Amino acid sequence: MNRKYRKTVIAGNWKMNKTPSETKEFMTQLKAILPKGRWCDIALCVPAVCIPAAVRAMRETRVGIGAENCNPNPSGAYTGEISTAMLTDAGCKYVIIGHSERRAMGETDADVNAKVTAALDAGLIPIMCCGESLEQREADITEEWITTQIKLGLAGVSEERIRKVIIAYEPIWAIGTGRTATPEQAEDVCKLIRTVVRKLYNSKSARAISILYGGSMNDKNAYELLAQPDIDGGLIGGASLVPEKFVKIIEAANQPAV
């Protein structure tokens, strides 16, 4: 982390978990134990039907609510889809884009790019995910793969808007597997991402952008991961479903910044 130049962000990704009633219950429990200090931004990205309950429950708090996906088109014949305008109107601040579970359902880098652009146009903060598979890591093409994902995902995003984007590095082999990247592995790729941003934009933008690590981050390993200079927070799946665990990760972000 480097709090001097950029925000630390602890974001939860609930995936397809919890009903609206369970959301209300979770938020009540979270509010009761939420740390008062403001050393990081906190986001909870929840299933679309849970957004109203989450926004209502967290209105007076510092927790921003987000969605897990969006459609880049403004409106129209896209049955089952949700536009960025719908998300902002519902009270969302963030939206996860390009999660590997969505990419596995066919989402391309071009789709990711269109969604990032639409999110920025609507005033949402996109949390743009990237990450390599185990095969790609073993074939030693992680650097090339991540560089391509970042370049294509950010295509056409202006220098003024790049700071509003959050990038999450999520190695696919570490998501939901309990197999976390080592702090060194995670740092190496987050540092690479910052270098790619520097080359695409400039040093100032690279220094200002928040880059998160995601992949089995939990209350036990968060401190060490967050101690890395280029890891500015976490995108957390499983551990964000339990208020006590999520709060422990928030607390782990309260450490001397590099």
Residues designated as active site: 99, 170
In this structure, are residues 43 and 22 in contact, taking their beta carbons and an 8 Å threshold? no
Residue 168: CB minimum distance to ligand PEP, A = 7
- What share of residues in the chain are helix, strand, coil (percent, to 5)? 45, 15, 40
- Which of the stretches 76-84, 85-93, 153-161, 237-245 binds ligand PEP when contact is defined by CB under 6 A? 237-245
CA dihedral in degrees (252, 253, 256, 258; nearest 10)?
130
46 forms part of the interface with ligand PEP (CB under 6 A): no
Among 69-77, 118-126, 154-162, 235-243, the segment contacting ligand PEP (CB under 6 A): 235-243
216 binds ligand PEP (CB under 6 A): yes
Contact flag: residue 222 with ligand PEP (CB under 6 A): no
Q: How far apart are CA 188 and CA 33, in angstroms?
A: 33
Q: Does 120 bind ligand PEP (CB under 6 A)?
A: no
Tell how strand 125-130 and strand 166-169 pair up.
Answer: parallel
Contact positions with ligand PEP (CB under 6 A) in 129-158? none
Alpha carbons 26 and 33: distance in angstroms, whole number? 11
Give the rounded distance of the alpha carbon of 14 from its chain centre.
11
Whole-number Å distance between alpha carbons of 127 and 130: 10
| Site membership for ligand PEP, residue 13 (CB under 6 A) | yes
For residue 97, the cross-strand partners are 128
126 binds ligand PEP (CB under 6 A): no
Amino acid type, 223:
Y
Q: How far is the CB of 235 from ligand PEP (least distance, A)?
A: 5
Query: Among 86-94, 112-120, 150-158, 231-239, which window interacts with ligand PEP (CB under 6 A)?
Result: 231-239
Q: By three-state DSSP, how is residue 170 classified? A: coil
> Tokens in use for 147?
């560089």
**Count of positions (residues) in the chain:** 258
Q: Does 189 bind ligand PEP (CB under 6 A)?
A: no
Residues 6+ apart with CB under 8 A from 185: 171
Shortest Cβ 111–ligand PEP spacing (Å): 18
**Whether the Cβ atoms of residue 12 and residue 212 lie closer than 8 Å to each other:** no
Q: Is 217 among the residues that bind ligand PEP (CB under 6 A)? A: yes
Tell me if 65 contacts ligand PEP by CB under 6 A.
no
Tell me the closest approach of the beta carbon of residue 176 to ligand PEP, in angstroms.
4
Q: Rule CB under 6 A: is residue 127 a binding residue for ligand PEP? A: no
Least gap, CB of 241 to ligand PEP (angstroms): 9
Which of 51, 175, 212, 249 touches ligand PEP by CB under 6 A? 175
Residues that bind ligand PEP (CB under 6 A): 13, 15, 170, 175-176, 214-217, 235-239
